[in-house]
A and B are shown apart, each in its own frame.
Chain A
């Protein structure tokens, strides 16, 4: 049963520190999405990639957030410097190629910035 994986599952850090979250999409999936979930904002799309190329990062605060796909099996989301308002659950999702629609979510990284 192939699944999207994310590390770490939980992260507590202090304001100003760099945070890196990692995602391994389902093998063979070519599109990767990053979402942020908070009680107030629901599920917000931050950025997404197809074939490792960024297609849309309009939902991401550019001054502190960055997203990359160093290779087809790894996507990263970095926050530098982190702020308390970044506290949220960050989900990665992947989608297969060939016109498929369904997105499969990872377990999420729960980030707390003190």
Chain B
């Protein structure tokens, strides 16, 4: 069935360290993979996305990698800052809609 698995569910890092969040998807036809950041009480906001014709995309301190063969993609945040603390969701497109992972609560400790 339609499924996106996300790990870990919680992640705690020291300020300045890197954070990596991983997702796997089930539908080999998926071709769009966004990542959303959701701060407490706020709406999910898109931070980066990647399409299946690209293996890696970078935007300042965040990057996403995609392995289509293995059907997994990852979010990398370097030089983490306290304001990076939030819940991060991955998603994969499936037949016109997005299927979301369960979320990762990232805590960056000063």
Footprint of B on A, CB under 8 Å?
31, 33, 42-43, 45, 48, 50, 55-56, 91, 101-108
A31 to B93, CA, bound (A): 14
Partner pick for A103 among B98, B101, B102, CB 8 A cutoff: B98
A contacts with B: majority SS: strand
Q: Indicate if the CB atoms of B45 and A105 lie closer than 8 Å.
A: yes
Considering only CB atoms, which chain A residue lies closest to B45 in the complex? Answer: A105
Footprint of A on B, CB under 8 Å?
32, 34, 36, 42-46, 49, 51, 89, 93, 96-103
Q: What residues on A are CB-neighbors of B103 within 8 Å?
A: 42-43
Q: A102-B46, A102-B49, A107-B42 are in contact. Are A43 and B89 (CB under 8 A)?
A: yes
A45 to B91, CA, bound (A): 12
Considering only CB atoms, which chain B residue lies closest to A40 in the complex? Answer: B102
Q: What residues on B are CB-neighbors of A103 within 8 Å?
A: 34, 46, 98
Contacts A42-B102, A43-B89 supplied; 9 other A-B pairs, CB < 8 Å: A33-B97, A42-B89, A45-B97, A50-B96, A101-B49, A101-B93, A102-B46, A103-B46, A105-B43
Q: What residues on A are CB-neighbors of B98 within 8 Å?
A: 33, 45, 103
